Amino acid sequence: MNRRSRLHVPRTPARPGQRPDFSYVALSEAGAVPRPEVAARARDIEELSVELVRVLDDAALAVGPWNPHLDPEELQVGLRHMVLTRLYDDRMQRMQRAGKISFYIRSLGEEAVSVAQCMALSPGDMLFPSYRNQGLHIARGIALVDLMCQVLSNTRDMCKGRQLPVMYHSVPHNLFSISGNLATQFPQAVGWAMAAAIKGEDHLAASWIGEGSSAEADFHHALLFASVYQAPVILNIVNNQWAISTFQGYAGGEQRSFAARGPGYGVPGIRVDGNDFLAVYAVTQWAAQRARTGTGPTLIELVTYRAAAHSTSDDPSRYRAKDDYEHWPLGDPIDRLKRHLIALGEWSEERHQALVSELEALVVSSWQEAVTHGTLTDGPKLDSDLMFEDVFKEMPRHLERQRALMREEKEMPWPP
């Protein structure tokens, strides 16, 4: 093995100490990408998978065929959800640092993905999120207190203390239980959509995974089954450029866009500016119409940036350039929508400040209520008997016995 290795290793543009370099991100002009018929065949619209659908131009105005023409009220609602998502994240991050919760994951810089997509879908559509889609839960209207109680694993935790923080679910809001195992939800969403089709129902399913997770087998199964049965499903790859410390090139992004995987399966792939609220909304609406009109599945790549650490356990300064987010070419989703509304004369710095203050107050009051139901360290605790429930619908005898043993163990004086 003295001969030189010929193995190709993907290049990571900027490591610590190097200057950020986003020249690898293929951009299109706002308004430049045509909007095909909803009924278009996958093979006739393959270009969508390498272009970048954008609506907001540098002047923060909406241009081109993908402009969804939302009225200002809707845009203000979207802005509100995004700001609330970010403020919620900030607070939870600080609470983790304060030792009140064990773990947290922020979606900083990716708020438009969840919020715009959720608003473009209807409430009956079933969502299969990843752990970085809290905007979906907020846009679907779950009370912050409920999210916080889950994160606290307290007595009002919807998961009865069984899941890590952020692994939410909600039956009434049609949000599926989040899994710690990457990508598993992707083909499950396809199955849900197949069932909707079998039952002749109109609802579609949508799921989200990170670009790194697209390497898992589940990604392939999702695209394949969606294609074979033409399931009414929207499969979203959130390309935030990083998988913990690993650059998207290691997931295949160096050779081709992630959206480009779709056409190979006969599924339309469409690449969109994930920080452009209007573009994300429009593309999702288009995909939803396809699903509802029996035109089948769509794969959407949302190009965005993970502005924060992977999670509270992570320190990105070890593996990427410090000031990279300032150089990110697609800007910040909240800032861009805010500027658009201001350009429309429908918003102002003052109103924005007021919104921020109002929502900060909401977050604070919600937290104050949530902690009355307990935190990791103090307050009321969940009954540990709950540990043995829901393994099966009815508790089998061997678990009843183990529950009894656990109680005995807890009562036992220790040290003896």
Ligand X SMILES: Cc1ncc(C[n+]2csc(CCOP(=O)(O)OP(=O)(O)O)c2C)c(N)n1
Residues that bind a copy of itself (CB under 8 A): 1, 3-10, 42-43, 50, 194, 197-201, 215, 217, 219-221, 224, 227-232, 249-252, 254-256, 260-267, 269, 294, 296
Task: Give the binding-site size for Mg ion (rule: CB under 5 A).
Answer: 5
The answer to whether 261 contacts ligand X (rule: CB under 6 A) is no
How far is CA 167 from its chain centroid? 12
Taking the complex as a whole, the smallest distance from the CB of residue 183 to ligand X amounts, in Å, to: 7
CA distance 182 to 386: 26
22 binds, among another protein, Mg ion, ligand X, none (CB under 5 to 8 A by kind): none
Q: Output 222 or 355, the one with its CB closest to ligand X.
A: 222
CA distance 204 to 197: 9
Assign 3-state DSSP to the chain and report helix, strand, coil percentages, each to 5: 40, 10, 50
Contact 288, 204 (CB under 8 A): yes
The answer to whether 199 contacts another protein (rule: CB under 8 A) is yes
CA distance 115 to 238: 13
CA distance 111 to 76: 14
Residues 282-341 touching another protein, rule: CB under 8 A, are 313, 318-319
Binding mask 202-231 for another protein (x = CB under 8 A): ---x------xx-xxxx-xxx-xx--x---
Taking the complex as a whole, the smallest distance from the CB of residue 141 to a copy of itself amounts, in Å, to: 29
Taking the complex as a whole, the smallest distance from the CB of residue 305 to another protein amounts, in Å, to: 18
Binding mask 186-215 for ligand X (x = CB under 6 A): -----------------------xxxxx--
Joined tokens for residue 48? 């969508």
* Helix segments in 38-170, DSSP class H: 72-97, 111-120, 134-139, 144-151
The answer to whether 185 contacts ligand X (rule: CB under 6 A) is no
Residues 81-110 touching another protein, rule: CB under 8 A, are 102-103
CA distance 367 to 376: 14
In this structure, what are the phi and psi dihedrals at residue 196, rounded to the nearest 5 degrees?
-60, -40
Looking at beta carbons, which residue is closest to ligand X? 210
The residues with which 302 forms a beta bridge, in sequence order, are 238, 272
Give the footprint of Mg ion on this chain (CB under 5 A).
210-212, 240, 243
Give the footprint of ligand X on this chain (CB under 6 A).
132, 180-182, 209-213, 238, 240, 242-244, 306, 310
